[in-house]
Amino acid sequence: MFVVYAFLVFFLIIFFTFLVRLFLHRTALIFVLRKWVEWIDDRVHVLQHLKVPEFNENCQQNRFYQKVSVYVNSLASVEDSDFTNLLSGKKSNDIVLCLDDDQTITDTFLGARVSWINKIERNHRSFVLKIKKKDKRRILKPYLQHIHTVSDDIEQRRKDLKLHINTDCNWRSLPFEHPANFDSIALDPDLKNKVKSDLETFSKSKQYYKKLGRAWKRSYLLYGPSGTGKSSFIAAMANLLSYDVYNVNLSKVSDDYHLNLLLVQTTSKSLIVVEDLDRYVAEKSTAVTSSGLMNFMDGILGSSFCKGRIMVFTMISKEGSDSALLRPGRIDVHIYFPLCDFNSFKSLAGSYLGVKEHKLFPQVEEIFQSGATMSPAEIGELMLVNRSSPSRALKSIITALQSNGRSSGNGKFGHQLNESAVSSPARSSTAEDAGGMAWKDTVVPKEVRKLYGMLTLKSCKKPGSLDHDHEMIER
């Protein structure tokens, strides 16, 4: 009897252990059941096998094999394979998963399940696609196009980015290693998310633009005071999309033909950047004509060679610019980069100092609410040099903001209006970036306007003196 009881206890322990292990490894059980279901499904339906060899009949490398290899090894189901190789990527800390020989993984497209097998026979490699015959006519062509699109996108993101600078009629290339990204940019979070979504949607919209009969291109205008992060934003765009950057220096362009020649030499899926466009137009410091610049932006030549290109232009202010230059079609998206506010300040503090809250934040917020402000670049520099002590950094910013507020002397919008007045002396009666306040009621203090009235009266006695006095007031 003792032996029987001992055997029963041992059996119960084994059975209980099995149940516990089965419970703890329920995902493995689900995986096994799913494999059984797929095996039965493959036996019920008629399958067709399509082979993608590494080399063609002329012993030349099959380019589509490379695309399939990139696509298959990017699938999440690679992790479910019984054998997967771990390989080093281009960067030292990158690990890449690669399907081993004679392994099968599955993929789903338009509701249909397909399988890929990595075959090696007589030292010749190939990928074999297994697809249900009933699904072939419906999904095969779009599926192969999908493989092309995804593999191109992956290869685009893996490449080493370049910065191209124009010299004479050619481009000079340098490694592009700017670290900016959308998380580090001090800009309204909602705006950043919208722009990021717009960029990602555009990069995947080749077929949609083709269906519309439109050139696959997009253009952005970034405008605002100096030091507000426009150049860093361009770098973040390039890093997000893995696009090369072509920085066009219009002062080195000899004529319209030269500009078009540079455009033709750019690659697809790249950023074409023209910074300080308003300065070139206002100072006429380039030999490129207005019509040549407009054709560069949306002419037939640019449209023919677009292929996913994004054009980015920067300005200090849009005021005084030719409306034809900024119309929809030439400029699709306008993004204003303001001087720093408290929300932008907190974003910078998190990035530069690693602090999200601080006892000095209420004081900083109060100073911002009083109308004092600085550019993100100025605040970032103060944080950078004092990064070892957040308190010292914040105190230096408080001092700088207070000094800035006193020097502006124009109330809440003083600094913004002074900045705008410098960038565009011939402003209209309404300041676009100052909350719509009238120029004559904000920029020119009451005492100065009173003095101007006195000088005007005196000018009645001294002809010709008004122009001189007015010039002194502008200074």
Q: What is the pLDDT of residues 419-432, one digit of tens each?
A: 332 233 233 322 33
d(CA 419, CA 414): 9
Q: Give the pLDDT of residue 290.
A: 81
Q: Which residues are CB-contacts of 291 (< 8 A; sequence separation ≥ 6)?
A: 256
Q: Give the pLDDT of residue 413.
A: 33
Q: Give the pLDDT of residue 91.
A: 64
- Of 401, 332, 396, the residue nearest 366 (C-alpha): 401
Mark the ranges of the chain whose per-residue pLDDT is less than 50: 410-475
Q: Give the pLDDT of residue 311.
A: 92
Q: Tokens representing 464? A: 């010709």
- Provide the residue type at 400 as one letter: A
Length of the chain as a residue count:
475
Do residues 376 and 344 lie in contact, with contact meaning Cβ atoms separated by under 8 Å?
yes
CA distance to 91, 92, 243, 423, per residue, from 96 (Å):
10, 11, 22, 50
Q: Give the pLDDT of residue 234.
A: 95
- Of 202, 197, 228, the residue nearest 310 (C-alpha): 202
Do residues 340 and 417 lie in contact, with contact meaning Cβ atoms separated by under 8 Å?
no
- Of 117, 106, 116, 111, the residue nearest 134 (C-alpha): 111
Q: Give the pLDDT of residue 32.
A: 67
- Its pTM surpasses 0.85: no
Q: How does DSSP classify residue 388? A: T
d(CA 398, CA 379): 10
